[in-house]
Amino acid sequence: MLRVKQELLASLAATLEGLLPGAGDKAAFESPKVAAHGDFACTAAMQLAKPLKQNPRQLAQTLVEALQQAEPFRRWVDAIDIAGPGFINIRLKPTAWQAVVHEVLAGGMLFGHQPDNGQRMMVEFVSANPTGPLHVGHGRQAALGDAICNLYSTQGWRVHREFYYNDAGVQIGTLATSTQLRARGFKPGDAEWPSGDNAAAYNGDYIADIAADFLAKKTVHADDREFTASGDVNDLDGIRQFAVAYLRHEQDLDLKAFDVKFDHYYLESSLYTSGKVEATVKKLQAAGKTYEQDGALWLKTTDYGDDKDRVMRKGDGSYTYFVPDVAYHISKWERGFTKVVNIQGTDHHGTIARVRAGLQAAGVGIPVGYPDYVLHTMVRVLRGGEEVKISKRAGSYVTLRDLIEWTSKDAVRFFLLSRKPDTEYTFDVDLAVQKNNDNPVYYVQYAHARICSVLAAWGGHLGELTGADLSALSSPQAQALMLQLARYPEMLSAAARDFAPHDVTFYLRDLAASYHSYYDAERILVDDEAVKRARLALVAATAQVLHNGLAVLGVSAPARM
């Protein structure tokens, strides 16, 4: 079907070019507002009526007559009608829809993928400072980031996954002192323990675990670091380094359970030790985009649309948090990433304008609008009909590992990706473990497993279906299923462009529904060999697209359930 559409578009473009030089770029198909009107709609006649000084409906008639003579339209199109002021509705022959089955079977896991475009892209996500277990908000970010990486990989981008964190800031200092207090035998509630709303302490049980392992002089290994504890409670820097390595290891376990991998871990502290922050400040000063006021150094972010100028360096000489962010993004650009996407919580909304302003002010050739941002809201968790707000291990929130242990990796991924990132989401634990059609991930996975059981009962090899005569696929249910298969490549491209992996979840639910309807309407393993092969080819193609779409989400496609 993809090939069919490409042939028809090329023919339409050539016809438009013949009517008006330069008009070929207006060749496009839309979906008719009413499905019964046809499979494709074209508005080119109304767009060209004015420059050609013709009545749009008469121009549509001229265009239709020309298209009817074009070989691709004769081969693939059943009827072309004109509606309203000049809409052209196109109805395809059954063979056009049937072509998608062979395209899927030939493409396999690469069906819907675009060729390598030679461009490098970075997606930065999770980026949690190692101060505690990953919470469900980090889980939403991990699912989003990984799915967006997978989406762009299908579109020909070379995607790099990066995790950015700080191992030496104020929060890390609080982690170190909290661990030191635990190592000295103190706990939350003791007189020696910091208390109050703004107390600098972490109260979760995991702090006691870190302290115990530090006193035991253990060695901890994380993906990007390892450290051996001295066991000396007065060694605050050693406690800090051990606690960071310990929690990075814990994060690695969380991410492994979620099947998320990173290509690189980038330390915020390295931006200072490498001189990148100072170099960035000098670039901004040299560009004349800074000024001194009230003992602070300011950046003229209002020159780039911000609502007010921003402090870069405070009176005490320390930099505000957006300065290393600017240095970090200059580093991304210098490393050759022409497209960068940051997945962050909605609380980071205020940083977008100032980071982009800093990048423009630095004058290093970074395009306007770099980087892209995908902001997500937090997640509420319901269990037993009541909201769950805390975890014993974390002390104040539900962890990602809790959610995976209560349900499954597949359920957590699919559920967290099933809504637009910036919309509120409530994760219903009870729904996620149900084995019925109300559970969306079960519904989609069951469609795949159901097809696998049919193929297993058949007992043949998929290669036997290559070139099968598909003329028997003429029922409304079969055509609806082929229509869904044909949507897959364009859905992938649109979902990548819009940073919308939720579109994939919607598509998969629609595809599963079409398959279940088809299965209920037509028996597949019939006695007529030609009909059986045609129907097997259709359901095998459906299983392939279900598998491919679930893979984009990082969700498995089980063969049996």
pLDDT tens for 386-411 read: 999 876 566 678 899 999 999 999 99
255 contacts: CB under 8 Å, gap ≥ 6: 126, 134, 142, 261, 262
How many CB atoms are closer than 10 A to CB 69?
10
pLDDT tens for each residue of the chain, 561 residues long: 678 888 899 999 999 988 889 888 888 988 877 777 788 899 999 999 888 889 999 999 999 999 999 999 999 898 999 988 899 999 889 888 899 999 999 999 999 999 999 999 999 999 999 998 899 999 999 999 999 999 999 999 999 999 999 988 889 999 999 999 999 999 999 999 998 877 889 988 899 999 999 999 999 999 999 999 999 999 999 999 999 999 999 999 999 999 999 999 999 999 999 999 999 999 999 999 999 999 999 999 999 988 899 999 999 999 998 999 999 999 999 999 999 999 999 988 889 999 999 999 999 999 999 999 999 999 999 999 999 987 656 667 889 999 999 999 999 999 999 999 999 999 999 999 999 999 999 999 999 999 999 999 999 999 999 889 999 999 999 999 999 999 999 999 999 999 999 999 999 999 999 999 999 999 999 999 999 999 999 999 999 999 999 999 999 999 999
Backbone Cα Rg of the chain: 29
* 450-to-132, 436, 481 alpha-carbon distances in Å: 41, 14, 15
Residue 194 backbone phi and psi in degrees, to 5: -55, 135
Digit-coded pLDDT (tens) for 338-357: 999 999 999 888 899 999 99
* 445-to-314, 333, 403, 442, 450 alpha-carbon distances in Å: 54, 40, 20, 5, 9
Contacts 24+ apart (CB under 8 A), 555-560: 555/410, 555/413, 555/414, 555/441, 555/445, 556/410, 556/445, 557/445, 557/448, 558/445, 558/448, 558/449, 559/448, 559/449, 559/452, 559/456, 560/449, 560/452, 560/453
How many CB atoms are closer than 10 A to CB 193?
15
Residue 424 and residue 534 in contact, taking contact as beta carbons nearer than 8 Å: no
What percent of the chain is helix, strand and coil (3-state, nearest 5)? Answer: 55, 15, 35
* Cα atoms in the 13 Å half-sphere on the side-chain side of 508: 34
Pairing of strands 310-313, 296-299: antiparallel
Residue 126 and residue 142 in contact, taking contact as beta carbons nearer than 8 Å: yes
Q: Report the distance separating Cα 129 and Cα 134, nearest Å.
A: 10
Residue ranges of domains in the chain, CATH in brackets? 2-92 (3.30.1360.70), 125-272+377-429 (3.40.50.620), 274-364 (no CATH), 436-553 (1.10.730.10)
Strand partners, 135: 399
Two tokens at 155?
A: 């579109």
